[in-house]
Each structure stands twice: as C-alpha cells, then as structure tokens.
C-alpha cells in the first residue's frame, strides 16, 4: 500500500532530529514507501469551501548535517491525499483552531486526519485531564485570584500553569504565603484594571515525586508503549520538561501507570485521538498531550522500539 501523507508542522529546518517525534514519523512514512509532503500554517487555504494546501514534497534522512531535501511546493486540493498528520506545536490559539477547521473539510471527504480535528479543538491539554478526576491530584482551574490563593493556602504548595503552554513555559511552583504569589497570579491571569483575570489558570497540588521524573507515556490507538520517558529535573530546576533542561530516562510502566491508561484510553479512541502522550507524576495524571506529543525517539533509542512504526501500522489499517 502506498499512501500520500502530508504533515502540518513547524519549520523542518528548526528540528532537533535526535528527539523530534514528527521527524520519526516522516522517516517511517518514507521507509514504507509512502509519498510525504510537508506544510506549515501559512500553507493552508479554503477555496469556495474546498480545503487546499501548498504542499512541499519532502525527502528526509537521519543525518544531522542535512536531514531534508524539499521538492517544489505547489497548491493542491487536500482531498486528494490519503492521510494528514496534524503535528503543529502549541499554543492552541485561534490560528490553530482555524487550521483544524480546514483539515476537517478534508476529513469529511474521507482523508484520515490524525489526530481528529474536532478532538484537537475540544481537548485542551491541561483541561482535558480533568475529565478523569480519579487519576489526578487536587486541581483548580479559575480566573479568580482570591480563589487561586485559597487553593494554595489549602494545599500548602502548588504548581501554577497557563492553559495554552508547552515545554514547561510559564509554570511556577509556589508555597502558600509566598510574597511572589500575587505577582505570579498577575502575570498568569493577565489581570484587568479591577483585579479580575482575563486568562484561566490551572493550579495543582505540588507532587514531590517530580524528583523521580515527570513520566511521558505514549499511547498509540489506545495501547500504551510499555516504557515511559521519565523527564527528571536537574540542579535547582523543579520542571522535568526536556525543553527546560530535564534529563530523559526510560522506565517500564508501573501498575499505577497502566491503571491510568486503562481509565483514559477508551475515551481517546472514541474521540479519534490515535497518538497521545500522558504526563504522570508519581501516582497522578497531570496532562493529556494531543497536539504534538513527543519523546518517541528517546524511547526508540533506549529500548529498540519503533513507535512511529506502531502508529503507521494503525494508519495503514484504517486507510485500507
């Protein structure tokens, strides 16, 4: 089976290929003989209700001295393709939402869009985890600074997060009564002139087990990869995110990890979320990453896996 596969993504020239999961997907698609194309957000358009994109034929190789060779870009009707992988990194802003609407037009014509555009709109990576409260530590999402301060006082130490971030950006760890708490809330809430918040903020009870790592569990069509990448904070940094300097260490899934997956996976499949990353600290689910989950290359290298291959096994089955 030869498929035409397009990937909506960030600029390939900025990839760090040793750890880029989108790049692993491109390599796997090419290895299987599929025709691969890339596009960025500026390459999408709708013409009289028809989804179009400026697609660049792409050849890739696993070589840090030169990992891609583009062909000539040209506009094509997206409905001519077999598969589109939506791999644009957050933020999930208005432009990201518009992109999903264009891709949904292609999906309605029979193109396999992964992950499902409607699910990408509905499943905010921070908020969606709250659909599974049995898996989570105490969590509050609010705009009211007084309520967020009350939550911090109740739990003693909390982590504050924006709802649209990635890579650990904009995350604060703070204790109740800290003189910096009000300033942190002002920054995250983007408060108005009367103290009200313009942006919702997530507050979670601090989980000390972060010292052992923030585990990324990858799920392919409802089935977990048997190993997680524990992203372990380094030095004085409390964030384990690799983008924040964390060290990645592969670990087998625990019984608790598998229980969390069992709680979440059926709903992921129902929504058409074929490739998802769960973030787990200690015994608790903290986030569900649906936009562009990563860590596949690190796990592949440490355990001899081919996670992109697992995904394409599924893609080829549903495209048959």
pLDDT digits (tens, 9 = 90+) for 1-31: 899 999 999 999 999 999 999 999 999 999 9
How many angstroms from the chain centroid is the CA of residue 217?
11
3-state secondary structure 207-219: CHHHHHCEEEEEE
Q: Where are the beta strands (DSSP E) in 143-271?
A: 157-162, 172-175, 201-205, 214-220, 223-224, 227-232, 247-252
d(CA 120, CA 99): 10
Q: Answer whether 315's CB lies under 8 Å from 114's CB.
A: yes
DSSP letters for 25-88: HHHHHHHTT-EEEEE-GGGEEEETTEEEEEEEEEEE-S-TT--EEE---EEEEGGG-SEEEE-P
Q: Please say if 32 is a catalytic residue.
A: no
pLDDT at 239 over 90: no
From the CB of residue 172, how many other CB atoms can be counted at a distance below 10 Å?
Answer: 21
- Check 87, 88, 126, 215 and give the catalytic one: 126
- Is the backbone of residue 157 left (phi > 0), alpha (psi -120 to 50) or beta? beta
pLDDT of residue 61: 98
The values of phi and psi at residue 28, to 5°, are -65, -45
Out of 115, 271, 289, 297, the active site residue is: 289
**Catalytic residue from among 32, 216, 271, 297:** 216
Q: Rounded to whole angstroms, how far apart are CA atoms 270 and 259?
A: 18
Is 89 in the active site?
no
pLDDT of residue 241: 55
Q: Is 231 a catalytic residue?
A: yes
For the question of whether the overall pTM of this predicted structure is more than 0.95, the answer is no
* pLDDT above 60 for 38: yes
Active site residue 287: yes
What is the number of alpha carbons within 13 Å of residue 264 lying toward its C-beta? 38
Annotated active-site residue 161? The verdict is yes
| Catalytic residue chosen out of the listed positions 239, 241, 271, 298 | 239
pLDDT score of 43 more than 60: yes
pLDDT of 166 higher than 90: no
Q: Please provide residue 60's backbone torsions phi and psi, each rounded to the nearest 5 degrees.
A: -130, 155
């Amino acid at each position: 089976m030869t498929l035409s596969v397009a990937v909506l993504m960030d600029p390939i020239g900025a990839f760090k290929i040793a750890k880029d999961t989108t790049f692993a997907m491109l390599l796997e698609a090419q290895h299987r003989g599929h025709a691969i194309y890339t596009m960025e957000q500026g390459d999408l358009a709708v013409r009289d209700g028809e989804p179009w994109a400026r697609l660049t034929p792409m050849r890739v190789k696993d070589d840090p001295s030169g990992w891609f060779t583009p062909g000539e870009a040209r506009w094509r009707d997206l409905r001519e393709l077999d598969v589109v992988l939506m791999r644009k990194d957050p933020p999930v802003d208005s432009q990201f939402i518009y992109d999903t609407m264009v891709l949904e037009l292609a999906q309605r014509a029979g193109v396999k869009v992964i992950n499902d555009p409607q699910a990408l709109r509905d499943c905010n990576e921070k908020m969606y985890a709250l659909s599974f409260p049995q898996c989570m530590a105490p969590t509050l999402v609010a705009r009211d600074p007084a309520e967020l301060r009350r939550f911090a006082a109740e739990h003693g130490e909390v982590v504050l997060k924006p709802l649209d971030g990635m890579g650990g950006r904009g995350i604060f760890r703070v204790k109740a009564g800290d003189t910096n708490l009000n300033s942190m809330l002002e920054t995250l809430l983007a408060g108005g002139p009367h103290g009200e918040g313009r942006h919702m903020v997530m507050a979670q009870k601090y989980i000390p087990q972060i010292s052992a790592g923030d585990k990324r569990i990858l799920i392919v069509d409802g089935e977990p990869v048997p190993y997680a990448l524990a992203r372990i904070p380094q030095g004085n940094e409390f964030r384990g995110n690799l983008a924040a300097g964390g060290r990645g260490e592969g670990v087998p899934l625990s019984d608790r990890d598998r229980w969390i997956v069992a709680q979440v996976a059926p709903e992921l499949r129902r929504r058409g979320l074929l490739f998802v990353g769960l973030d787990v600290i200690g015994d608790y689910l903290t986030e569900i990453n649906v936009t562009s989950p990563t860590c596949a290359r690190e796990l592949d290298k440490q355990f001899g896996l081919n996670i992109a291959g697992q995904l394409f096994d599924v893609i080829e089955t549903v495209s048959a």
